[in-house]
Every structure is written in structure tokens, then in C-alpha cells.
Structure 1
Amino acid sequence: MTVTQSAESHESVGDAPRPVDRGPVRAEASDSFTELLPQTRRALLRRLAVGQAEGRAPSMVGAVVRGGQAVWTGSRGSVEGEAPHGDVQYRIGSLTKTLVAVLVMRLRDEGLLCLDDPVSKHLKGSPVPEATIAQLLSHSSGLTAEPRSPWWERTAGELRPEPADLFDDRPQRLAAGRRHHYSNPGYALLGAVVERLRGGRPWYEVLRAEVLQSLGMVRTTTQPEAPHADGWAVHPWADALLPEPAHDTGLMGPAGQLWSTPDDLCRWAAFLLHGDDRVLSAATVAEMRTPAVPPEENGWDAGYGLGIQLVRREGRRLAGHTGSMPGFLATVWTDPEEEVAAIVLANCTSGPSVPTIAADLAGIVTAHEPRIPEPWRPLSGPLDPDLLALTGPWYWGANPHVLRLRADRELELAPLSGVGRASRFRAQDDGTWAGLDGYYAGETLTVVRDEQGAVSHLDLGTFVFTRGPYEPSGPVPGGVDPQGWRV
């Protein structure tokens, strides 16, 4: 293979070229403004070019997804003497974990496991029998960060043929559930859980059948398939290269084995933004990016959900994952609020800050072309007059709130001052509403009626909301002074 360090570059708008058309990125977003402005495209290409040059990467590819579509791809450097395009494979390292996490969440949604299940319920002989599935997903099981030596990322999986070969005599370093402690072997265990609950089928076979084929990600594989980039180490003090090995990591595969392309990862990013009912609902995907563990000391700008990394950058909340294997760096960040995602791949062991470059690509689009909100539309279907009668001002003591009716019989309660406890509520079959977010997540909102059937008040987790501030006729806990308000 010939590697050139020339300033070769490639940029395309829309779906990048590929040998076989696998259809557009699937998503439910309706924003039709998918073509980026020329100045935005130039800023994206420049950021990628600076990252590749300063990071001294043999090649680097970037892509942006907006409105459910790949709207820009760009590259610098070369693979086999040509500028890499959207169908060139790179190794994606720990991005693999996010795909494995989706398989686990599918099992949960099917009722085959619970996130609170101890892993030993599904996997006999686990080195952390009391750690839960959720703790493995969120890296809070306390399990060791790395498997037994030698360095698993640069050696063949045959050196660790059995699960017991992954661990030394002290597999658990911390108490389960107390701290975030990143664990690669934890995802080896999750891959084994998937295989166990899918009748012994290999985890990748399950992934391909249940996720990759549905999303059109047919170029995401466990072994490289041409065209693909080779992995390189770059000498720290000279512009020289050393090839990196690319072994099959065996049982550690669920932690970082996969190879993928910019095109496939654009589809993956669109899925992480909007979900896909063929794989996981949007609600479950949103659950995955909800913080599951407390951040570490000064790490309040970063966290972890269920298989999803979380970062805060310049006021934006990003969700996705980073990845590295010898010879490769990868990142996918999504910005759900702006419905934008960015992907960056490079074929070097170290050098460029790929996570920062990807965050910057998403930020460029957000800054240059902010998301255009969906048009307002009235509620569809027949309007329930009883629900409409509940809307308007309610008072928690003397604190004014407003209750609004949303689509699908959802209610939204928020303080009129804009400061305080706000939550959305979903209608339940028993006539109550369950809190979806904020302080009241999981709490029950009940409309309480008097003996004549008229609405008396709202009960929200023992908090009473009345139609007037400290309404004397309302069931205010502790009662209301009989003399009422005074000056």
C-alpha cells in the first residue's frame, strides 16, 4: 500500500457516492432544509483539514447528518492513493459498544431481561454476579477497565479463548453502582448475554440480522472488507509511519471489534437521533442517552447513559460515542435538540482530537444554519372538552403554574415564572398521568373530583394544586388561615 501525505481532499454534498445504493438515511424528521450553504461547507472542510494537518493523520473523513440525511462529507489525505469517500471502511473501536447496547435494550423491550437484573441471572460464572445489566451498560459495575494482559487491542483473541481468561484474580476494582469506571470487559459480558438470550447465536450475527440490515448498514463488519483504510502509528518526532496490527479480538469483540464506513455511520447517527421502530423506538433511544451515573469529580461536562457517552460543549448537549483501536480513531456525536450529527474517522493511533473535531463540525452547522422549528399545527383528532377544561392556571400554594394540553393527551405543567419544577405527563389507562421528565419523572398526576364530579384539585406526588392561590375552599395541606389574605 502506498500512503501519500499530500493535501488531497474530497468534499461532497448529499449522500456520499457508494457502489450500491442502499436507499436514503431513514428518519422521521421533516426539516426539508438539507442542503448546506457554501460558506457552511467551506467551514466544515477547513475544520477537517486543520484537524488532519495538525493531527498528522494519514487520512481523515468527516460527515454531517441533518434532518435525517447525510448532507456533507469531506476528507483529507489518502487511502490507496485516493481521497477516501463514504464507502471506505475504518475501524470504529468503542463505537461498537453503542451497537451492542442497542441489542441489550431490544432484549429489555421484548421482556427477556430487566435492566435491574443481576448479570448472573443470565450469565453463569460472571466475575461480578451482583452487578446489574444497567451497571454494565453504564460502566458502573466496578469491573476492571481492561482484560488480563497482554494488551487485548493489539493481540489475537485466541490468547483469551474462554471467558475466565479475560480476568485476573481481582476482576472487580470498585463497588458496583457507586462510580463510573469504564470497563471494556463489561461489554464482553454484555455480548455474551446477547448470545445466551438469542439461543447461542454469535453477537455479530444477531446485530447484523436485527439492526444492521434494517438500517442499511451492510458495510459494518467484524473484519475489514475492501475498500478499507489500514491503521498506522505516526512517529512523534518525524513524519514517518508504522503499520498497526488488526487482530480479531475474539471474546472482546463487543467492546471494539467493528469496522464501518462514513455512509453507514450516517445511518447510525440518524437512528441515534430519531430511533427507528424496526430496531428501537425513539423513546428507548432517548432513555439510552439519559445520564445513568454521576460524573467524576471535575467531569460535570461529561457523563454516560446506557451505552451512550454524553458531553456538554459550548452549551450544547451531545450524545454518541468515541472509539479507538491501534491505528484508528472514531467519533459519532449527535445533537438531538438541533437534530444534527457529525462523524469523524481517522486511520492513526493518536494525534488528532477526533472527538473535538466531530463536536466542532456539528457546532459549525448549528452556528451557521440553526435548526428551523417545525410549523405549529393544531391538535389532531377530536378534542376532549374535559381535558381542555383542565388547562390554564393552577397554583401550588401561592406559586402560579400553567397546565397545557399536548398531543396524544399529554399534559405539561410548568411554573409561570419559568423557574421551578416543570414536567410533561403521559396519560395512563387508569385515568392518571405519569411524569416523563424533570422533578416529577415517574410521579403520578391525579385529577381529584368532588362528590358531584367537579374537579377539586390536582394531586401530584402529594403536592396539591388549586385553581386559586391558597384557595380557602381547596384541600390545602395544613389548611388556610380563615382571615385570608391581608395587607
Structure 2
Amino acid sequence: MDEAHFCCERLDDLAAAGGKKINLMNRRRFSALGLAAAFAAIPRQSLAQSAVPDAAGYQFAAINDGLLTVRHGGMARAGIVVDDNTLFQVASCSKTVTSLAVLTLVRDGHLALDAPVNQFLKRWQLPGLRGDAATVAALMSHTAGTSVQGFGGYGPSEDLPDLFEILGGRTPANSGAVRAGPRLFGGFRYSGGGTMVLQALIEDVTGEAFSSYTSKAVLRPVGASTASFVIMPRAAFAHGFYETGMPVEGGFRRHPESAAAGLWATASDLAKILQAVLDSLRRRRRAILPFELATRMITPVGGQSGLGLFVEPGRVIWHEGRNFGFDAIMAADLATDHIRAAVVNRNGAIECYAQELLPR
């Protein structure tokens, strides 16, 4: 398989600072290992016996011919093992759910993908040189030229900003203001900030809280009813660990930047989310989107970026994510309809699992 480029977030030196220092997370590339592993057969041996760092828990989900298979192992936190229902932070995989929510509003006639987002925003307007020109679709595909690449989240004793403090880069937000600047040849520039504009859009159009609408319109209909954008899940959840093995203070960093990085989910939830995209592409009765919108979602706009998904045309759709203490990846093969998803609660461990998942 050709090399696939993933937009994963690097932890820099936060772990060394004990979780108290917030650095902007640089984007980095996964090797082809990620996608190759995603479509390997589930190994017969236990993943828990592989050479994976201590203190890591995992879930791995596969859908083949409509049949969901799930494996799990390791520790969710001290004294508690991971099971099929343990929730993990899935970081930027949140963006796929956000885009599906936007597309349900397009489906129902409340939005237009190619219209400027400021036409629909009521409480706040996207500023910057291209603020009035940035379209809904451009925000979904990271081609609107918006600022703020990623978010570091907040520790247990830090104040949480509201949505408009995040968008405006105002205290107590620890990220910069979201603005739409020039685009060089209309190119791709990964922007979690742009996804947060979509959160404001969904709330303004629906009159509902983001977490409420996404649960009602996307997560429950696709069968991922335990997945949630709440800050603190009610269900059992994993605690995160840095690559060094140091635990994340408080177990996890809190993400009020819900649309960009705040989803708690299982590996099977991620597999079901991609299954919903495939169902829409195949015009199945349970589809949540019409064929035309699903096709638009997986059509590359800038580089490999579709609308809330990355795309290798005709072959694979995927997204991945990294928060402090958690990694996640989900992918679907467009030729076979096979789906793979994995979540871990130690940064870097997912690549160790990938090694174990490669075909023998």
C-alpha cells in the first residue's frame, strides 16, 4: 500500500513538565503502518501478550461483511481492566462526528455547504481577511484558512473556557483566537479552530447544545449510544498515559473544544460511525445521509482531505486522533467495506499494536 499521511498530534514536552506546560502540538506523519495494520486480519494471539508498553489498555474493532468483532485488553486505570464498553478519548476522530452532524443539517435543508458560514452564525462571526468568504464545506475540509491547529485541553484544577472564549482566544482559553486568513492556492491547513466554528454553527442552527444534537442526530442513530461529548463521562472510562508511562494528571485533560477533540467513545463506536458513511454510500435503508452528501463527504477537497474524513480516492477513508494520553484511529476500505478501529490510553502504544496487527 502506498504511504498514507496522517495528521496526528505530537506531545512535545508536556509529559516532562508533568502536564502543566501547554505547547502547541505539532502535526506529524504516521507511516504506512497505520493503514496497513487497519486492514490486517485480527491476530489469533492475544494482543495483551505483544510487546506493548506497560500501563496501556486497548480496544480493537473490525466489521467484515456486516459482522462486528471486538477485542480488548490491558488496564483502563489502576485496578480496572479495559472491557468492550470502556470509553476512551478519541481526540480528532471527533471531527468526523461533527461533520456528520453538519451534513444532517444540510440533508434537512437548514444549511448549504457552499454558502459562507457567517450567513448562518447568529451569536458570533468568523473574523479575518476571509471570514465572510469561508464556506461551511471549507471549514469541514480544512481549506478555509482558519487558525488554531489543535487544542491541549485543561487540567483538573484549571478553569474551563466557554465556546466563545475558545473562539476568541480569551482567558481562560489556552489557545489563540480563531480567524480566517489567506489561503495559499486554496490549500489544506489543518485547523481544529475551524471545527470549533462548526460547533457554534450547529448550536446556532439547531438551538440545541452541541452534545445534545450530535447524540440525537448521529451517535444514537448509528448505534454508538454510549459515545458522548460530555466533559466527564458517566460510563466507565480509561485514564491516559504519556509515551513515557507518566499518567495524565487527573486521568485525562478536559476538552470543552468538543467538536474538535472532545468525544469519548469505544473502538466499536468508531467502527459504527464509519459504517454509517458506508451505508449512506451504498444507499442502504438505515443510511443517515443521502448518497449525494455521502459522496461529497469522501471527495477530496485539499490534498487527501474530504469533509471530516481523509481520503485515498477509491480505496480508503480514515481519521485518527491524539489527545494527551490517548490515541485513536479508524479506517474503512471502500472496495471491500471492511472497517477497522483502534483506541489506546497511552500515546505511541497504538503503533506497537499496529506492528502486532500486520499480516504474517
- Whether TM-score is above 0.5 comes out as yes
1:185 and 2:193 equivalent? yes
What does 1:22-41 align with in structure 2 at a 5 Å threshold? Answer: 40-41=41-42
Residue identity in the other structure for 1:305: G
Identical-residue share of aligned pairs (%): 22
Q: Show the 5 A alignment for 1:393-472.
A: none
- State the partner residue of 2:71: 74
Alignment-derived partner of residue 232 in structure 1: 241
Aligned to 1:256: 261
**Structure 1 residue 117: Cα displacement:** 0.7
Q: Which amino acid aligns with 1:211?
A: V
- Measure, in 1, the Cα distance between the counterparts of 2:279 and 2:263: 23
Map 1:35-434 onto structure 2 (within 5 A). 40-42=41-43, 45=45, 48=47, 53-54=51-52, 58-70=56-68, 72-80=69-77, 81=79, 83-123=81-121, 124-127=124-127, 128-146=131-149, 152-155=152-155, 158-159=160-161, 162=164, 163-165=167-169, 168=176, 171-175=179-183, 178-198=186-206, 200-221=207-228, 222=230, 223-235=232-244, 240-245=245-250, 246-250=252-256, 252-275=257-280, 277=286, 279-293=288-302, 295=303, 303-311=304-312, 317-353=315-351, 357=354, 364=359
Q: What amino acid is the match of 2:195? A: Y
The residue identity in structure 2 corresponding to 1:353 is: E
Alpha-carbon separation, structure 1, partners of 2:159 and 2:110:
29
* 1:250-291 superposed Cα distances (whole Å, 9 cap, x missing partner): 2x2110101011332232232122236462134422321111
| SS of the residue 1:331 aligns to | strand
Cα deviation per residue 1:160-209 (whole Å; 9 max; x = unaligned)?
Answer: 552323675783454277110000011110011111111x2111101111
**Is the CA contact (8 Å cut-off) linking 2:327 and 2:348 kept in structure 1?**
yes
Q: Which residue of 2 aligns with 1:425?
A: none
Contact 1:56/1:352, CA 8 A, preserved across alignment: no
- Alpha-carbon distance, 1:53 to partner: 2.5
What CA distance in whole angstroms lies between the structure 2 residues aligned with 1:60 and 1:169? Answer: 35
Distance apart, 1:159 and its partner CA: 3.6
Q: Is this contact kept in 2: 1:145–1:181, CA < 8 A?
A: no
Q: Please provide the CA RMSD for this pair.
A: 3.0
CA contact (8 A) 1:56 1:234 kept: no
Shift in Å, 1:249: 2.6
Larger Rg, first or second structure (1 or 2): 1
- Specify every segment of 5 or more residues in structure 1 that has no aligned partner in the other structure, as ranges: 1-38, 296-302, 369-487
Tell me by how many angstroms 1:57 deviates: 5.9
Richer in strand (by share): 1
Quick check: 1:62–1:73 contact (8 Å CA) kept in 2? yes
State the one-letter code of the partner of 2:43.
Answer: R
Over 3 Å counting, the alpha-carbon distance change for 1:97 and 1:196 in structure 2 is same
Give 1:56 shift: 5.4
Aligned residues: 300
Change beyond 3 A, Cα 1:55–1:283: farther
TM-score, structure 1 length as denominator? 0.56
Native 8 Å contact 1:140 1:176 kept in 2 = no
The question of whether the paired residues in 2 share the 8 Å contact of 1:233 and 1:349 is answered with yes
The answer for the alignment partner of 1:33 in structure 2 is: none
Q: Which runs of 5+ in 2 are unaligned?
A: 1-39
Q: In the aligned structure 1, how far is the partner of 2:163 from the partner of 2:102?
A: 23
